Structure 1
Amino acid sequence: MHQLAIVHDHPDGFQPLFAALSRAGIDYLPVHTAGHGFDPIGGQPPAPVIFNRIAMSSARHGVHHPVYYAMALLDHWAGQGALVLNGADAMAIDASKARQLALINRLGLAAPATRVVHDSAALLAAATTIGFPVVVKADVSGAGSGVTRFDDRAALAHAAEAGLLPPSANGVWLCQALVNPRDGTTTRIEVLGGRYLYGVDVAAAEDALMLASPDDRLQRLAQRRRRRAEPPPNLIAAAEMLAREAGMEVCSIEYMIDDVCGTPRFHDINGLSPFVENPMDVLGWDPHDRLVERLWHHIRRMGG
């Protein structure tokens, strides 16, 4: 049996992690969800420690996305005694913007004004209540996918009638007030093992998140994660609390400062936590090495 299994849907995106695992001498097994199947009655986990790296943005690829399949797989292996990091319960929060915002609210943190709906009539009513401009988001999304801005009711009504709303894997949308972030940036806090790892400022450009194609969004988002941030202690503590309550071993938490009132508004909990590109230039160290140290901790704890 291997020491560690990595469940993923995009092997090219995890080469830095695989390289760090190899440098550390960890015997790991990549488990690609494409073509994968499991016996829900028998079988056994491929390793005592399972690390989930499924991207929520995979849901935009259509009915064959692995999000809900991976939840069932991870829950099965956890029931067989494996330690599953970012497992099915955490993934259920990762896979729902609505659940993320409910968690943010329960913990007493601010978020953009939002209504959750599942049909176009409720969507139009929600937008009228919140007031235009609004942002409509798919409940299951990632990397800026499934996000569209509407400046008036006519544009939203046309999109709903023409089937041009953001594709939703579960038929749920969020209608959200458009927040103008101070200095045009959002801040991403990376959390590992319940503790702050680092922060980066991300240019919160509407054109990147709402007007670009999905592939362009991924490219632009990666290119923009470059400026080191030093979030204040109270917001670091809030992000750590969110990560713990979400049950996520590793994740990123995003907030923006509302330029109108100065309120920090949390808006995203991302269990995939894509680390900043060119980390040596931005941070001066590689977060994958810290992640591998944490994985070693769990492997030793499980007797591996």
Structure 2
Amino acid sequence: MSRLHVIHENPAWIGAFTDAFDARHVPWTEWLIDHGKVDYAAIPPEGVFYNRMSASSHTRDHRYAPELTLALLHWLERHGRRVINGTSALDLEISKARQYARLERAGIRVPRTIVVTGKEDVLNASKTFFDAGQPVILKPNRGGKGLGVQLFNTYAGLSSYLNGPTYEQPVDGIQLLQEYIKAPEPYITRAEFVGGRFLYAVRVDTSEGFELCPAEACEIGDAFCPTTATPRPKFEIIDDIDANLKESYERFLSENGIEISGIEFIVGQDGKIRTYDVNTNTNYNPTAEAVAGRSATLAVADFLGGLVREYYPLAS
């Protein structure tokens, strides 16, 4: 029987989708690809394929899962299978540098970014920011969940970190030095898209740092907002974003073969919007959704279930 195949490497992020697929009676199966093989001489199974490979797979000891998944997706696409978030999407998922290049090509403003390799290059490049009196963010090119993202206010502080015991070489050897965008309030916005169309946005409190994974498995509780002196949820759903920005994002997703995604942006003190992350392995926060009466996983199930019925009318 033809069905939906969910390609992933992290079972902890599948539970909410399991409930949604079952609620919508979507015939589906997991394709766990934390390791394995792809036989190019074989014929892929029939069905619709949803890629949920994560850039942070290496943090779960699945170092080469994205590379293996790229091979798998090329194989599926070569045989004409319907793939959601295929090779182009995964290529952007595992490289923020390529994300920024594609975003800028689409006319979407991103923070000033310098792509570097090696500690010496990082320190030399950081002078571009520090000499202008600007703090700098250091982040891995292949990250996920905000892991490894750190803010430095001085050259000495950055040098101490790079030469200290807690520094870890990025998994692909590439790091990004990026201008720090100071917002009037400590929050960013994450816009969610299903089927290439805007669903809702999430206001995310950043007062406790940059690890912003919204999945229930990543939950760290409510944050404290020092600007209001009152507790508020770390994740709050808002119904809409700027219409022009929404149109630009939807066009960008279409041009890059991305159908399910979260896109993160920040509004600086200058009032300008800068986009800094495209997450094609998006997760959703059940607490924020319950408060707002929304469900992105059900929206995903409706979208994917519709594709299964479209491509395989006899599937049940």
Shift of 1:108: 1.7
Judged with a 3 Å threshold, the aligned counterparts in structure 2 of structure 1 residues 92 and 231 are, in CA distance, closer, same or farther, namely: same
Instruction: Tell me how far apart the structure 2 counterparts of residues 252 and 18 of structure 1 sit (CA, whole Å).
Output: 20
SS at match of 1:74: helix
Cα pair 2:108 2:275 within 8 Å, conserved: yes
Post-superposition CA distance 1:223-247 (Å, at most 9, x none):
7223425312122112212322331
SS at match of 2:5: strand
Q: Which amino acid is 2:140 matched to?
A: A
Instruction: Tell me how far apart the structure 2 counterparts of residues 39 and 196 of structure 1 sit (CA, whole Å).
Output: 37
Which residues of 2 match residues 186-201 of structure 1 at below 5 A? 186-201=188-203
Shift of 1:287: 1.8
Judged with a 3 Å threshold, the aligned counterparts in structure 2 of structure 1 residues 243 and 167 are, in CA distance, closer, same or farther, namely: farther
1 or 2 for the larger relative contact order (CA 8 Å, sep ≥6)? 2
Structure 1 partner of 2:279 = 270
Judged with a 3 Å threshold, the aligned counterparts in structure 2 of structure 1 residues 35 and 63 are, in CA distance, closer, same or farther, namely: closer
Q: Select between 116-125 and 135-144 the one with higher mean Cα deviation.
A: 116-125
Instruction: Select the residue among 159, 183, 186 that pairs with 1:184.
Output: 186
Q: Which amino acid is 1:47 matched to?
A: E
SS at match of 2:293: coil
Which residues of 2 match residues 101-116 of structure 1 at below 5 A? 101-116=100-115
Q: Which amino acid is 1:234 matched to?
A: N
- Please tell me the root mean square deviation across aligned C-alpha atoms, in Å: 2.5
Q: Does 2:143 correspond to 1:141?
A: yes
**Aligned residues between the structures:** 298
Shift of 1:221: 8.5
Instruction: Tell me how far apart the structure 1 counterparts of residues 93 and 282 of structure 2 sit (CA, whole Å).
Output: 11
TM-score, scaled to structure 1: 0.89
Q: Select between 250-259 and 110-119 the one with higher mean Cα deviation.
A: 110-119
TM-score, scaled to structure 2: 0.86
Judged with a 3 Å threshold, the aligned counterparts in structure 2 of structure 1 residues 279 and 43 are, in CA distance, closer, same or farther, namely: farther
Instruction: Tell me how far apart the structure 1 counterparts of residues 118 and 61 of structure 2 sit (CA, whole Å).
Output: 19
Instruction: Tell me how far apart the structure 2 counterparts of residues 116 and 282 of structure 1 sit (CA, whole Å).
Output: 40
Structure 2 partner of 1:234 = 244
Structure 2 partner of 1:46 = 45
Which residues of 2 match residues 58-97 of structure 1 at below 5 A? 58-62=57-61, 64-97=63-96
Instruction: Tell me how far apart the structure 2 counterparts of residues 83 and 149 of structure 1 sit (CA, whole Å).
Output: 41
> Moved runs in structure 1, 4+ residues, more than 4 A?
none
Cα pair 1:115 1:175 within 8 Å, conserved: yes
Q: Select between 21-30 and 156-165 the one with higher mean Cα deviation.
A: 156-165
Shift of 1:91: 0.4
Instruction: Tell me how far apart the structure 1 counterparts of residues 192 and 219 of structure 2 sit (CA, whole Å).
Output: 20
Which residues of 2 match residues 275-286 of structure 1 at below 5 A? 275-278=284-287, 280-286=289-295
Shift of 1:100: 0.9
The answer for unaligned runs of 5 or more in structure 2 is: 223-232
Instruction: Tell me how far apart the structure 1 counterparts of residues 60 and 303 of structure 2 sit (CA, whole Å).
Output: 32
Shift of 1:163: 6.4
Q: Does 2:250 correspond to 1:251?
A: no
Instruction: Tell me how far apart the structure 2 counterparts of residues 289 and 112 of structure 1 sit (CA, whole Å).
Output: 33
Instruction: Tell me how far apart the structure 2 counterparts of residues 148 and 97 of structure 1 sit (CA, whole Å).
Output: 15
